[in-house]
């Protein structure tokens, strides 16, 4: 005779699953120092191994409502860390491009428009909430043209926002 799980066993299993999901979410948010080291790897706080490393675009987990430019509430933690990085002495004089990407579901034109609107939402948040200069922040949409996973163009990883360093004074 098989025993059925008790309500307490189920509660514990659900709690563990939720905690695991929260842990994964917490790991997805890059802190300001991580962002600085990826965008400006020659910064002193990035360690000696960063000498000669070129700045590279970074993909951030910034969730949006489905088929919308509206940021999900959970996006603010990542955007707030981005704002801290962009106001640091390492990046405060830099121009930044915010690039939106989508997966391949939907038409190419729809995805290009949606990705541009999402990049603009990120730009607006940084300007309105953190007072960053709009002149420093350019928004662009690439739609589905630059997937992270070519073999899986509809993969969730392709729905992202990238931050690129354009110039340093």
Residue pLDDT, tens place only, 17-34: 444 444 344 447 899 989
Burial 39-74 (b: 16+ CB within 10 A, else e): bbbebeebeeeeeeeebeebbbbbbbeeeebebeee
pLDDT, tens digit, for every residue of 120-149? 999 999 999 999 999 999 999 999 998 886
* Cα separations in angstroms, 128 against 61, 102, 106, 169: 20, 24, 30, 24
Q: What is the pTM of this model?
A: 0.77
Enumerate domains of the chain plus CATH numbers. Answer: 31-167 (3.30.1330.60)
Tell me which long-range contacts 132-139 makes (C-beta under 8 A, separation of at least 24): 132/83, 132/86, 132/87, 136/86, 136/94, 136/95, 136/96, 137/95, 137/96, 137/97, 137/98, 138/95, 138/96, 138/97, 138/98, 138/166, 139/97, 139/98, 139/99, 139/100
- 3-class DSSP string for 139-152: EEECCCCCCCCCCC
**Residue written as tokens 């120092």?**
33
Cα–Cα distance for residue pair 119/162, rounded to 1 Å? 9
pLDDT, tens digit, for every residue of 77-129? 999 999 999 999 989 999 999 999 988 888 999 999 999 999 999 999 999 99
Cα–Cα distance for residue pair 74/87, rounded to 1 Å? 21
């Amino acid at each position: 005779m098989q025993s059925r799980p008790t309500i307490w066993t189920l509660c514990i299993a659900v709690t563990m699953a939720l905690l695991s999901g929260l842990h994964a979410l917490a790991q997805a948010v890059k802190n300001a120092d991580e962002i600085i080291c990826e965008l400006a790897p020659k910064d002193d706080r990035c360690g000696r191994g960063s000498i000669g490393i070129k700045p590279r675009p970074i993909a951030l987990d910034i969730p949006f409502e489905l088929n919308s430019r509206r940021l999900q509430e959970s996006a603010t933690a990542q955007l707030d860390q981005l704002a801290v990085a962009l106001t640091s002495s390492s990046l405060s004089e830099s121009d930044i491009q915010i690039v939106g990407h989508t997966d391949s579901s939907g038409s190419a034109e729809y995805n290009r428009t949606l990705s541009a609107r999402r990049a603009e939402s990120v730009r607006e948040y940084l300007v309105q909430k953190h007072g960053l200069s709009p002149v420093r922040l350019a928004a662009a949409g690439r739609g589905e043209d630059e997937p992270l996973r070519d073999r899986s163009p509809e993969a969730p990883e392709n729905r992202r926002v990238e931050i690129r360093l354009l110039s340093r004074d």
